[in-house]
Structure 1
């Protein structure tokens, strides 16, 4: 036996600890998550990834600063030391976790809480750290203030985030000078300039990344709309050309032969029957040569919703292996028109004074079909009391879907309980 032993020397539990079933389930879950996020808007994807990165950065910074926290807390209360550290770093692990699979609103809410929590830590630091070790030159919270700025960049629009940098830099400089008293004004100004200058760079990077992702979404929506419109126009042109060829080659030819024959002819009768059959087939044809796949259909519907209101939350779900959608362009247009009308109705009638409403659209693509659900938590209404002259629901939504081959629409609502509009298409036959 060698010094390394043999396989027989390895405990059985070490070999059995890798469960192939559990490992396969984990990989399937990871693949499903990747599939679900593939159709997210670029702005949502970059927000999710930046949230994960910034959350991990906060965790790493907290671990790296542990020796400094311990050193600077030798003359402070243990309880207050823990409170300040938790306020500064405690929400960043939460931010990293919610960024994996939670909604955009949840990620931004946690980021806002982390940014505000950091400001609170800076505000109470001068009370906690009244005496510092002689070899220390700056408060650890001052050095990692960029963490709070990164969280603010995720939580808010550029203007509030810039305001956060200014206010936070003043607070960080004051906290640092309160702990390390110096009567020189220029030392305080230098602390502010260093904090604001460094954090402005981080803020610019985060804002630019989010703006670039939003620009990608806008261009993608415009391109999808133009592609769908071009596809529809091309389909109509081809249908006109096909029908014109049929008129020229069959109808006119039959009429010409009939005018020349003058008497009943079996050949002419057969030609006329074939021509009538071709005309009937052309009239009743439901074949649409231009089709949208799952990815294009989702972008088409997202563009229709965000054209009405860009603030509505849009989620797409696709099932790997069962999303072979082939959606005709005219069908996509009908669904988009009904969906846009549902959104407009909600914006007009669902408002509740003094309360912010949540409006969401969820698109689910399955084998050969699509399901679109619009929900709001607004005022709601009694379907039985809708006036006959109110055509938004009965004609513009339900009527459109009833006239669509393979389509159906449903509206669920009650006073005070919000409204749910479901649009379903399962193929033309």
Structure 2
């Protein structure tokens, strides 16, 4: 039987592990979605994170500019190495503002991490680098960048890490004073609880991110709905064209074949009458098929097999004691049509081969095997437009509730197995 590395990178893979992630079915993050119709692609999640990171960097630069005189006094009040560390953080923010909309996502993550690390280092060593007057009154401008860094961490890590950073980062100046001064400066003690409140900015960035993701979900759902409507229209148009062909060409030909004058080939009339009956049943719909006795179903299957391949060895029988039981007519029609298509393929594409049809049937199950000893075929080589094996055999049986079908082909021949279970 024969018949002829992207810009998303690291950010996209980690995005589904944070609040609002939607890609991974098992991420377990709040707001996640496993529905493919509403899932946001990795690329869109990364785009949202990129936009948020750029806005955060811009806010960081504005904060530094607002600090004004305190920034200008840094070289006079701090050691050069600490000033370099603090201004290095500002430099990273400026790079993010200028290139944050175009850099590959992995590079953005590196810059976000670098900004956080530089800020942490500046806070942890602030009293080691301080060379000014009374440390009890010191309030370095770099502290003002804490909410920005907290939000960067929210884009980079899971919420337990974010929570840990929110709690620990305001304590870094306190620890710096305890380590490098041997005591906790007064202003650092007063500012620690205030800076702990910066965690509210993380909640805000999470809320903005969740809102943007929801907007993307709605857009994705609408896009898929539009695609399905277009596909449905296309299918309806193809069905309409097919219906016209069937009405204008196929039906007229079949009717003419049943009414030919003289002595036409008997098999032609039988085949035409059978095809007309099949079309009538299909037009009546699946609900029109009644239950059919097993013994009658066996006779119909055997007759259909002999009609399509008169030389085939046909052995189809009922399971002992099941003759009086009944099977769905829709199942019988589908199995008979799939078997007939398989036999026609063998007759056309493996002429002269030995054809065998074996089957067993009762009220709860059917098993049919159609085998030949032809040259076989490669199922993967079947063109998409050829529907015989793909749709008329496999598709028809697999679409049947409880139905199954498989095709095995090699140099020894082809075996088609059709099955059904109630």
- TM-score calculated relative to the size of structure 2: 0.45
Higher normalized contact order (CA 8 Å, seq sep 6+, divided by chain length): 2
- TM-score calculated relative to the size of structure 1: 0.44
When Rg is computed on C-alpha atoms for both structures, the one with the higher figure is 2
